[in-house]
Amino acid sequence: MKKLLPVVILLLSISAWGHPHEWVDWGAGLALNEAKPVKAVSVSLELTWDELFSAVMLSDFPRIEKGAMTRADLDLLDKTYGLASPDRAVSLQVTFRGKPVTVKPVLQTPRTDGKQVTLVYTLALGLTVDAPGDLAVEIYDPTYYTDMGIRAKDGAYFIGVKDPAAYAGRSQLKQDMEHPYFGGMVYPELVVFALRP
Protein backbone atom coordinates (compact mmCIF):
# COMPACT_ATOMS: atom_id res chain seq x y z
CA MET A 1 0.00 0.00 0.00
CA LYS A 2 2.88 2.37 0.78
CA LYS A 3 4.25 1.91 -2.75
CA LEU A 4 0.80 2.42 -4.31
CA LEU A 5 0.02 5.72 -2.57
CA PRO A 6 2.64 7.85 -4.41
CA VAL A 7 1.42 6.45 -7.75
CA VAL A 8 -2.20 7.34 -6.90
CA ILE A 9 -1.18 10.86 -5.85
CA LEU A 10 0.81 11.27 -9.07
CA LEU A 11 -2.12 10.11 -11.21
CA LEU A 12 -4.51 12.45 -9.42
CA SER A 13 -2.08 15.34 -9.90
CA ILE A 14 -1.74 14.63 -13.61
CA SER A 15 -5.51 14.34 -13.95
CA ALA A 16 -6.09 17.66 -12.16
CA TRP A 17 -3.45 19.36 -14.30
CA GLY A 18 -4.77 17.92 -17.56
CA HIS A 19 -8.43 18.89 -17.20
CA PRO A 20 -10.19 22.20 -16.69
CA HIS A 21 -11.41 23.04 -13.22
CA GLU A 22 -14.58 24.63 -14.59
CA TRP A 23 -16.85 23.76 -17.49
CA VAL A 24 -19.17 26.21 -19.18
CA ASP A 25 -21.70 25.95 -21.99
CA TRP A 26 -22.30 29.20 -23.80
CA GLY A 27 -24.63 30.69 -26.35
CA ALA A 28 -25.05 34.02 -28.10
CA GLY A 29 -28.20 35.86 -29.10
CA LEU A 30 -28.10 38.73 -31.58
CA ALA A 31 -30.63 41.52 -31.08
CA LEU A 32 -31.68 43.10 -34.36
CA ASN A 33 -33.68 46.20 -35.17
CA GLU A 34 -35.29 45.23 -38.47
CA ALA A 35 -36.35 48.78 -39.42
CA LYS A 36 -34.42 49.99 -42.47
CA PRO A 37 -31.50 50.33 -42.26
CA VAL A 38 -31.18 47.11 -40.25
CA LYS A 39 -29.11 47.48 -37.10
CA ALA A 40 -27.27 44.89 -35.04
CA VAL A 41 -28.13 46.32 -31.64
CA SER A 42 -26.41 44.01 -29.16
CA VAL A 43 -25.32 40.49 -28.31
CA SER A 44 -26.64 38.59 -25.31
CA LEU A 45 -23.83 36.30 -24.18
CA GLU A 46 -24.97 33.48 -21.87
CA LEU A 47 -22.46 31.39 -19.89
CA THR A 48 -23.85 28.38 -17.97
CA TRP A 49 -21.32 27.15 -15.41
CA ASP A 50 -20.94 23.60 -14.12
CA GLU A 51 -22.68 22.54 -10.91
CA LEU A 52 -19.57 22.64 -8.73
CA PHE A 53 -18.59 26.19 -9.71
CA SER A 54 -22.25 27.27 -9.62
CA ALA A 55 -22.56 25.97 -6.05
CA VAL A 56 -19.68 28.24 -5.03
CA MET A 57 -21.35 31.24 -6.70
CA LEU A 58 -24.72 30.47 -5.08
CA SER A 59 -23.07 30.10 -1.68
CA ASP A 60 -21.30 33.45 -1.95
CA PHE A 61 -24.19 35.24 -3.68
CA PRO A 62 -27.46 33.76 -2.33
CA ARG A 63 -29.43 36.64 -3.85
CA ILE A 64 -28.90 35.04 -7.28
CA GLU A 65 -31.62 32.48 -6.48
CA LYS A 66 -33.99 35.22 -5.33
CA GLY A 67 -33.41 37.26 -8.49
CA ALA A 68 -32.74 40.25 -6.25
CA MET A 69 -29.31 41.35 -7.44
CA THR A 70 -28.55 45.06 -7.31
CA ARG A 71 -26.11 46.73 -9.74
CA ALA A 72 -23.50 46.69 -6.96
CA ASP A 73 -24.14 42.94 -6.44
CA LEU A 74 -23.74 42.29 -10.16
CA ASP A 75 -20.50 44.25 -10.35
CA LEU A 76 -19.08 42.33 -7.39
CA LEU A 77 -20.21 38.98 -8.83
CA ASP A 78 -18.59 39.85 -12.15
CA LYS A 79 -15.31 40.88 -10.51
CA THR A 80 -15.31 37.80 -8.27
CA TYR A 81 -16.39 35.01 -10.63
CA GLY A 82 -17.30 36.52 -14.00
CA LEU A 83 -15.49 37.86 -17.03
CA ALA A 84 -14.22 40.89 -15.07
CA SER A 85 -12.36 38.69 -12.59
CA PRO A 86 -8.60 39.36 -12.59
CA ASP A 87 -8.13 35.60 -12.12
CA ARG A 88 -9.52 34.89 -15.59
CA ALA A 89 -7.64 34.80 -18.88
CA VAL A 90 -10.73 34.83 -21.06
CA SER A 91 -10.48 35.99 -24.66
CA LEU A 92 -13.70 37.56 -25.98
CA GLN A 93 -13.69 38.70 -29.60
CA VAL A 94 -16.46 40.15 -31.74
CA THR A 95 -15.87 40.86 -35.42
CA PHE A 96 -18.10 42.35 -38.12
CA ARG A 97 -17.10 41.68 -41.72
CA GLY A 98 -13.75 40.48 -40.40
CA LYS A 99 -12.96 43.66 -38.47
CA PRO A 100 -12.79 43.77 -34.66
CA VAL A 101 -15.66 45.39 -32.78
CA THR A 102 -14.89 46.88 -29.37
CA VAL A 103 -17.34 45.56 -26.78
CA LYS A 104 -17.71 45.92 -23.03
CA PRO A 105 -19.51 42.99 -21.39
CA VAL A 106 -22.11 44.22 -18.88
CA LEU A 107 -23.44 41.57 -16.51
CA GLN A 108 -27.23 41.37 -16.32
CA THR A 109 -29.37 39.45 -13.80
CA PRO A 110 -28.08 35.85 -13.73
CA ARG A 111 -30.38 32.85 -14.10
CA THR A 112 -30.30 29.64 -12.09
CA ASP A 113 -32.24 26.41 -11.74
CA GLY A 114 -30.77 25.93 -8.27
CA LYS A 115 -27.98 23.73 -9.61
CA GLN A 116 -26.33 25.73 -12.37
CA VAL A 117 -25.85 29.46 -12.76
CA THR A 118 -26.02 31.22 -16.12
CA LEU A 119 -24.22 34.55 -16.24
CA VAL A 120 -25.84 36.78 -18.86
CA TYR A 121 -23.89 39.64 -20.44
CA THR A 122 -24.98 42.34 -22.84
CA LEU A 123 -22.48 43.45 -25.48
CA ALA A 124 -23.67 46.71 -27.05
CA LEU A 125 -22.99 46.93 -30.80
CA GLY A 126 -24.96 49.65 -32.58
CA LEU A 127 -23.86 48.45 -36.03
CA THR A 128 -25.66 49.36 -39.25
CA VAL A 129 -26.08 46.46 -41.66
CA ASP A 130 -25.94 48.25 -45.02
CA ALA A 131 -24.37 45.32 -46.90
CA PRO A 132 -24.23 41.55 -46.38
CA GLY A 133 -21.64 40.42 -43.84
CA ASP A 134 -20.89 38.10 -40.97
CA LEU A 135 -20.87 39.00 -37.29
CA ALA A 136 -18.81 36.55 -35.24
CA VAL A 137 -18.66 36.05 -31.47
CA GLU A 138 -15.81 33.99 -29.98
CA ILE A 139 -15.01 33.34 -26.34
CA TYR A 140 -12.51 30.96 -24.80
CA ASP A 141 -10.04 30.57 -21.95
CA PRO A 142 -6.61 29.48 -23.19
CA THR A 143 -5.57 28.27 -19.72
CA TYR A 144 -6.48 24.87 -18.30
CA TYR A 145 -8.80 26.42 -15.71
CA THR A 146 -11.93 26.73 -17.81
CA ASP A 147 -13.29 24.84 -20.80
CA MET A 148 -15.86 26.79 -22.83
CA GLY A 149 -17.97 25.16 -25.52
CA ILE A 150 -21.06 26.30 -27.43
CA ARG A 151 -24.20 24.67 -26.04
CA ALA A 152 -25.91 22.11 -28.22
CA LYS A 153 -29.36 23.73 -28.06
CA ASP A 154 -29.82 27.37 -29.03
CA GLY A 155 -26.10 28.09 -29.23
CA ALA A 156 -27.03 30.90 -31.63
CA TYR A 157 -30.35 32.72 -31.82
CA PHE A 158 -31.90 36.03 -32.88
CA ILE A 159 -33.65 38.46 -30.52
CA GLY A 160 -36.40 40.97 -31.32
CA VAL A 161 -37.15 39.75 -34.84
CA LYS A 162 -40.74 39.54 -36.13
CA ASP A 163 -40.39 36.08 -37.66
CA PRO A 164 -37.63 33.91 -36.14
CA ALA A 165 -38.29 31.22 -38.78
CA ALA A 166 -37.13 33.68 -41.44
CA TYR A 167 -33.68 33.58 -39.85
CA ALA A 168 -33.27 29.81 -40.03
CA GLY A 169 -29.87 28.98 -41.47
CA ARG A 170 -28.57 32.51 -40.83
CA SER A 171 -26.20 31.38 -38.06
CA GLN A 172 -23.42 28.81 -37.83
CA LEU A 173 -21.26 27.31 -35.10
CA LYS A 174 -17.61 27.13 -36.15
CA GLN A 175 -14.11 26.54 -34.82
CA ASP A 176 -11.21 28.99 -34.92
CA MET A 177 -8.42 26.84 -36.33
CA GLU A 178 -5.86 29.65 -35.97
CA HIS A 179 -5.81 29.77 -32.15
CA PRO A 180 -5.30 26.25 -30.73
CA TYR A 181 -4.93 25.94 -26.97
CA PHE A 182 -4.65 23.22 -24.27
CA GLY A 183 -1.34 22.24 -25.88
CA GLY A 184 -2.74 22.49 -29.39
CA MET A 185 -5.48 19.92 -28.77
CA VAL A 186 -8.50 22.26 -28.59
CA TYR A 187 -9.74 25.02 -30.87
CA PRO A 188 -11.95 27.94 -29.81
CA GLU A 189 -15.57 27.84 -30.89
CA LEU A 190 -17.44 30.78 -32.35
CA VAL A 191 -20.95 31.74 -33.35
CA VAL A 192 -21.30 33.39 -36.75
CA PHE A 193 -24.42 35.35 -37.75
CA ALA A 194 -24.97 36.00 -41.47
CA LEU A 195 -26.46 39.49 -41.77
CA ARG A 196 -28.01 41.27 -44.68
CA PRO A 197 -29.83 44.59 -45.12
Q: What is the pTM of this model?
A: 0.88
Residue 9 — pLDDT band, cuts 50, 70, 90?
A: very low
Q: Does the pLDDT value for residue 164 go beyond 50? A: yes
Q: Which helix (H) or strand (E) holds 60?
A: helix 51-60
Mean pLDDT of 138-166: 93
pLDDT value at position 8? Answer: 38
Q: Give residues with Cβ within 8 angstroms of 14, minimum separation 6.
A: none
Q: What is the pLDDT of residues 73-94, one digit of tens each?
A: 999 999 999 999 998 999 999 9
Residue 183 — pLDDT band, cuts 50, 70, 90?
A: confident
Residue 145 — pLDDT band, cuts 50, 70, 90?
A: confident
Residue 141 — pLDDT band, cuts 50, 70, 90?
A: very high
Boundaries of every domain in the chain: 23-195
Burial readout 40-59 (b: 16 or more C-beta within 10 A, e: otherwise): bbbbbbbbbbbeebbeebbe
Please give the class, per CATH, of domain 23-195: mainly beta
pLDDT value at position 37? Answer: 93
Residue type, 163: D
User: Helix crossing, 51-60 with 71-81: angle to 10°?
Assistant: 140
How far apart, in Å, are the Cα atoms of 188 and each of 15, 51, 142? 22, 22, 9
Average pLDDT, the chain: 90
What pairing do the DSSP bridges indicate for beta strands 146-150 and 22-33? parallel
Q: What percent of the chain is modeled with pLDDT above 90?
A: 79
pLDDT value at position 19? Answer: 59
Question: Under a CB-based contact definition with an 8 Å cutoff, are residues 180 and 186 in contact?
Answer: yes
pLDDT value at position 4? Answer: 46
State the CB neighbour count (10 A cutoff) for residue 173: 16
Chain CA centroid to CA 19, Å: 19
In angstroms, the CA 96 to CA 43 distance is 12
Q: How many CA atoms lie within 13 A of 178 on its CB side?
A: 2
pLDDT value at position 21? Answer: 82
Q: What is the pLDDT of residues 31-90, one digit of tens each?
A: 999 999 999 999 999 999 999 999 999 999 999 999 889 999 999 999 999 999 998 999
